[in-house]
Amino acid sequence: MNASTRLLSIAALAMGVASMPALADSDSGDSMKELSAQWWQWAFSIPKTSNPLLDPGGANCMVGQRGPVWFLAGSLDSGIIRRTCSVPEGVTLFFPVINYFNLNTPGVCPSTSPNQTVAQLRAAAAASMNAVTGLSAKVDNKPVKQIRRVRSEPFSGTFPADNIFLAFCDGVFPAGTYSPGVDDGYYAKVQGLGPGVHTLTFRAVNGDFVIDAEYILNVMPVSREVTD
């Protein structure tokens, strides 16, 4: 799918001072490129009935999570996000402040969409992200110092029958795997949140698309006691 008609913004952290330069993609490391691709694969694969992108209150934030890195989602639409969810102690939280993907789906949504190369997909995504302004975020009311602009490695996306793009494609977006896809966005990792309640807030602007988000995170202690 050519995503030029849909800006997808996902809950994450941004730098607290918008005038500070974000780190360039060359500084972000291969792991960030891999994680941004994995973030989309996670988001694409979850049915819309339980997809965190469509979750109004945070009840689905644990869906599809595993391992040492957990993803947080924002919204498919401009507006306000207010969510409360639980995460285990010790995980790394990975989020985009705001991002944009392009996915090659010839003949599907819109039906006239031709095959597109990685270079073409990247150009459209970069043009959108070049227009982002007003990045800001706080963790427990303390500004996050920096974010990274990350251009993902090319990836494939696999969608269930009950997928999140049916509403944007007149009810026709067949289940299956589509490729290639690319992402361009502003991302951060957050580590070291101790047990208890923490607040993440963020804001980003891209033209008339504004995202205003707050996450109340209940970080749950994890027992490391070994018993016989």
Q: What are the pLDDT digits (tens) for 31-72?
A: 999 999 999 999 999 999 999 999 999 999 999 999 999 999
Could you give the 3-state DSSP secondary structure of residue 36? helix
Q: What's the average model confidence in pLDDT over 153-169?
A: 94
> What pLDDT score was predicted for residue 227?
62
- Higher-pLDDT residue of 19 and 98 is 98
> What pLDDT score was predicted for residue 6?
36
Residue 173's nearest CA partner among 105, 118, 76 is 105
Residue 202's nearest CA partner among 89, 80, 112 is 80
Q: How far apart are CA 199 and CA 138, in angstroms?
A: 8
Q: Using the 8-state DSSP alphabet, how is residue 108 labeled?
A: S
Q: How far apart are CA 152 and CA 148, in angstroms?
A: 12
Q: Using the 8-state DSSP alphabet, how is residue 94 labeled?
A: E
